[in-house]
Amino acid sequence: MSSDGRRWFEQRKEFAARPPDSDGAPERWTKCAACGEMLFDETLAENMAVCPLCLHHFPIDAHQRLALLCDEGNVEFHDEVLSPVDALGFIDSKSYKGRIESTRKATGRNDAFLAASAAVDGIDVEVGSFDFRFMGGSMGSVVGESITRLYERAIERRVPAIVVSASGGARMQEGVLSLMQMAKTCAALARLKDEARMPYISVLTHPTTGGVAASFAMLGDVILAEPRALIGFAGPRVIQQTIGANLPDGFQTSEYLLEHGLVDHIANRRELKPLIAQVLRALLLLPPGARSRRGESVAPRVVPG
């Protein structure tokens, strides 16, 4: 990701193609938005959508994210049928109902969050990921409900929870209904920690902003982030105009938050799964290589204080 201060919606993905190969299929190339290198798409896919030269992390959708984190063949998806409604009859340049329908057709998803019961290196978890393609990963009533249910399943099953965030914040087309999801999700997360005493790992990707950053995304027992991700509440231009002062270099990046103690570790996408597994074993008091399966009891996490 470039650190030139551009907002996420000002950034572009550039593509180029060359003549078809011997099988008649066009070979696709993608230009890295950070270093400008032309990358063969097959190589990029093999590298988990990370530029091998500058380590720029390209955006990936929710299914791709869970495929990278979860053990193959041990994933059960939940709540995919939930769909948002236009309770306020909201209209700006386009009706909210129209935006929902067009985005649904473009993405094949009903909303911006995908939740699943799965395993990470043999450790059972409840896990979910935002899909930024759906209205900028904004959090409305359905997203809030899906995340709340994820925490509730983790409480019921006494397993850890993992949420991967990539969001522009609360969905303005739902007004106060979207803002209520901040309190709702945080209340369910508090029950996970107080009643089930199970750990919650929050993974922050580019971008994690607004009401998502101001609620459950920053409440992890362990908070991990991808390199050079934009993380914060309001955008840097809004903050700069409000306080009337220049912001420090790298403000609201993963690296800046790590330096100031708001993030525990910055993890390359390729090392994220083994790192999460290592963290979970430490929090669950499991020996190295131990597996926790459905129906098996695990030691409760140690809660400081």
pLDDT of 94 above 90? yes
Confidence of residue 11 (pLDDT cuts 50, 70, 90): low
pLDDT of 206 above 70? yes
pLDDT of 201 above 90? yes
Rounded to 5 degrees, what are φ and ψ at 112? Answer: -95, 15
Whole-number Å distance between alpha carbons of 258 and 254: 6
Confidence of residue 3 (pLDDT cuts 50, 70, 90): very low
| pLDDT tens sequence across 107-143 | 999 999 999 999 999 999 999 999 999 999 999 999 9
HSE, side-chain direction, 13 A CA sphere, residue 283: 22
- By three-state DSSP, how is residue 194 classified? helix
Please give the torsion angle defined by the CA atoms of residues 163, 165, 168 and 170, in that order, rounded to the nearest 10 degrees: 10
Confidence of residue 19 (pLDDT cuts 50, 70, 90): very low
Question: Among 3.90.1150.110, 2.60.40.10, 1.20.120.850, 3.90.226.10, what is the CATH number of 60-283?
Answer: 3.90.226.10
Whole-number Å distance between alpha carbons of 38 and 16: 8
* Cβ atoms of residues 173 and 140 within 8 Å: yes
Rounded to 5 degrees, what are φ and ψ at 46? Answer: -65, -25
pLDDT of 287 above 70? yes
| pLDDT tens sequence across 157-172 | 999 999 999 999 999 9
HSE, side-chain direction, 13 A CA sphere, residue 60: 21
Ranges for all domains in the chain classified under CATH 3.90.226.10: 60-283
Whole-number Å distance between alpha carbons of 151 and 128: 10
- By three-state DSSP, how is residue 139 classified? strand
Amino acid at 237: R
Confidence of residue 293 (pLDDT cuts 50, 70, 90): low
pLDDT at 290: 81
pLDDT at 77: 97
pLDDT at 36: 93
First-to-last C-alpha distance (Å) of the chain: 38
The arithmetic mean of pLDDT across residues 61-85, rounded, is 95
Whole-number Å distance between alpha carbons of 39 and 33: 11
H-run or E-run covering 28: strand 26-31
The arithmetic mean of pLDDT across residues 26-48, rounded, is 89
